[in-house]
Structure 1
Amino acid sequence: MVGIAEISKYWMTTEIILFNILGNFGNFNLLWLTFRRKELRTKPGYLLAINALFQSVCLLSLFINIAVILSERKISRRDCYPMVTPYTIAISMQAPMALAIATDLFIALLLPIRYRNLPTFLYVAGLCTPGMVYALVVTAFGWAMLNDDMLSLCNVVVGLHPIVSSFWTFSNVVMNFLVLAVYMGFFVVLKFNYNPAAYNEHRRVVRRLTVIVIVFVFSWFLALLGAQIFSMLHFSPDVLPYLQSNMVRRCDYRLCFG
């Protein structure tokens, strides 16, 4: 009988290849269009482009995991983590970037005149800096906790020491709740602080935002929440890495359809 680990290996390999094709096609097109078209070089445009760049780093880094899976050999955390360090930085930027994009939308709604007058570079840098600091702290924490444990997979959730991985997952869940709170705040402000005529003018924005929230909840939000729940339920050490890896990988794929 084929075990869960064996099934998971084949499933992960297929997913990684398929979604790299789909995800990077969309991400690279977004980056190229942002570079070529001046009308896309706006505050939200730059934030989306930066997010797409980090997302592509995440997707491409998954091929490291394929190599380990297909080799059918275990790898030490000390050998694995240096290879997934760029991946660690990139995926650690995903929740902060989602929060930055949501905050940008909220600021544009509440302070439209001041928003337009803010210098684009400083504004975008200001929104991205906290996330980069967080990503570098997680990465440094991962380096500080390196050991010689043998791993069956090589990705961020497994490559990080369990203590660091738990911190990373929990902090991402917290940020995801903040993102959801910002989006809900956007709906509330739009619904109750605008007259019916103004609300109708923003109906298209509301519909688009509704789709964004649904995609966010059923991909990144539930994926990280699921990974955290699996950790809290104390699954077997032989099974937990595969369960968490499958959940976290949903985070990497959400922009394929974003």
Structure 2
Amino acid sequence: MEASDVLVFSIFFFAVVGGFGNLNIIFATYRSKALRHKCGILLSILAFCDFSCLMFEGISGIRVVTNTASMKKSKCFWLQSGNIIIENAEVYMIFAVSLDRQLAIQEPVKYRTWKIQKYVILMTIPAAIYGLAYWLWSFATLVDKNLEICNLPTSMPDVVSEYWNYTSTFACFLTVFCYGCTFAMLYKLTPKALKGQQGQLEQQKRIAKTLSINVFGFFISSVASSAIIIVFRNAGVSEEIVGEAETYAVIPGLLSYSLNYYIYFWRSSEYRRAFAQQLGLSENFFLRGQETMFGPQNSQVTRISGVSPFSVSVSSSVMTRISQTPVE
């Protein structure tokens, strides 16, 4: 099997396997009330971004097979416009999910009372702005030339593509750092402040563990893609070889677009139940163990003596208050 055959096979394999998984996440979130909470909706938006990226790559694969991948850069830019916006939004959404976990841990009572619709909109607006910024920058600095193959990196001007590569890598490290802070809080800091509220702590640990697996896959595949591009761009090789490297660098990225469904199926009884229902399969066959990922999302959050279960320092005036806040 030639290298080009490996590329085409990888594109179509992940387009089918990953596309199936991401569509299942989207429909499961739409159909299951248990998944339509803040984190679940953010994950479904991430799944939409992943699905869209896979479809754009699938179309690129069709162009390779039909020998129509060579074109003017201006044409490639317009064909990849949606991909430029959505792929960059996807990078931000992965970070947004990690930020969501930080908010849930540090401000559990406020987090549960925030309106879902407003919260999701506020969390996704930066993703849209970030994606549009790259599109506008590419449009404003576009210089037309012939391309051997049209894909996401080659559709942008060279300076934009190079900056995009570095910022995407930085976003990977920032997301991992955010999850590192989350684990430090869950396992080192917050247990010292807990007073008989282990249930909420364990729930947050389950969520963080599951999402950290996603982030690990995202980190490895994204860094691998970026590293391939960076190495060849700085190796002093011809522009044609750099273009080929940028094309094959998509393969690790395809993996990160495709993982989430299978990780949720493995780790979350809530998602397994929803997936089994929409696939017409027996729920009992899949509902093994106790790996509940989210736990009850519509119960009441109680603050005992004003101590948030995930807060290390609380003012003395609040320590005397007992309050109950209904979950939104």
Q: 193-202 or 65-74: which moved more? A: 193-202
- The residue aligned with 1:212 is 214
Which of 55, 61, 84 in structure 2 is aligned with 1:66?
A: 61
Residue 111 of structure 1: aligned partner = 107
Q: Structure 2: which amino acid aligns with 1:50? A: I
The superposition leaves residues 161-209 of structure 1 with CA deviations (integer Å, 9 ceiling, x where unpaired) of 1111011111111211110110110111112213378498355445434
Q: Is the 8 A contact 1:64 1:154 kept in 2?
A: no
Which one-letter code corresponds to 2:110 in the other structure? R
Which stretch shifts more, 222-231 or 56-65? 222-231
Using the TM superposition, give the Cα deviation of residue 225 of structure 1 relative to its aligned residue in structure 2, in angstroms.
Answer: 4.1
Worse overlay, 212-221 or 80-89:
212-221
8 Å CA contact 2:15, 2:55 repeated in 1: yes
Q: Which residue of 2 aligns with 1:36?
A: 31
Structure 1 distance, partners of 2:93, 2:101, is 12
Tell me what 2:254 maps to. Answer: 252
Task: Please report the TM-score for the alignment, with normalisation by the length of structure 2.
Answer: 0.71
Match of 2:77 among 81, 91, 94: 81
1:175 aligns with 2:175: no
Distance 1:206 1:70, change over 3 A: closer
For 1:45 and 1:13, the matched residues in 2 are separated by: 33
- State how many pairs are aligned: 253
CA contact under 8 A between 1:102 and 1:182: conserved in structure 2?
Answer: yes
- Greater Cα shift, 209-218 or 114-123: 209-218
Root-mean-square deviation (CA, aligned residues, Å) is: 2.2
Q: Call closer, same or farther: CA 1:237–1:114 in 2, change over 3 Å.
A: same
Quote how far apart the aligned CAs of 1:86 are: 0.8
1:162 aligned to which of 158, 165, 168:
158
Q: Evaluate the alpha carbon distance shift between residue 79 and residue 207 of structure 1 in structure 2; reply closer, same or farther with a 3 A threshold.
A: closer
- Is 191-200 or 71-80 further displaced after alignment? 191-200
Does 206-215 or 99-108 show the bigger shift?
A: 206-215
Q: Give the counterpart letter for 1:253 in structure 2.
A: L
Larger Rg: 2
**1:20, CA displacement in angstroms?**
0.7
Shift of 1:256: 1.7
Structure 1 partner of 2:134: 138
2:179–2:212 contact (8 Å) kept in structure 1: no
Aligned-residue identity in percent: 23
Contact 1:65 1:154 in 2 (8 A): yes
Residues in 2 aligned to 1:249 and 1:147: alpha-carbon distance in whole angstroms: 27
Give me the TM-score of the superposition, normalised by structure 1: 0.89
**How far apart in 1 are the matches of 2:230 and 2:109?**
41
The worse-fitting range, judged by mean Cα deviation, of 60-69 and 88-97 is 60-69
The change in CA–CA distance for 1:105 and 1:172 in structure 2 (over 3 A counts) is same
Query: For residues 205 and 127 of structure 1, do their structure 2 counterparts lie closer, same or farther at Cα, with a shift above 3 Å needed?
Result: closer
Structure 2 stretches lacking a partner, 5+ long: 261-328
Query: 1: distance between equivalents of 2:184 and 2:232?
Result: 33
Q: 1:45 to 1:207 in 2, by over 3 A?
A: closer
Q: Quick one: distance in 2 between partners of 1:49 and 1:37?
A: 12
Tell me the residue number matched to 1:201: 202
Letter of the 1:46 counterpart? I
The one-letter amino acid paired with 2:84 is T
Q: What is the rounded CA distance, in whole Å, between the counterparts of 2:27 and 2:38 in structure 1? A: 16
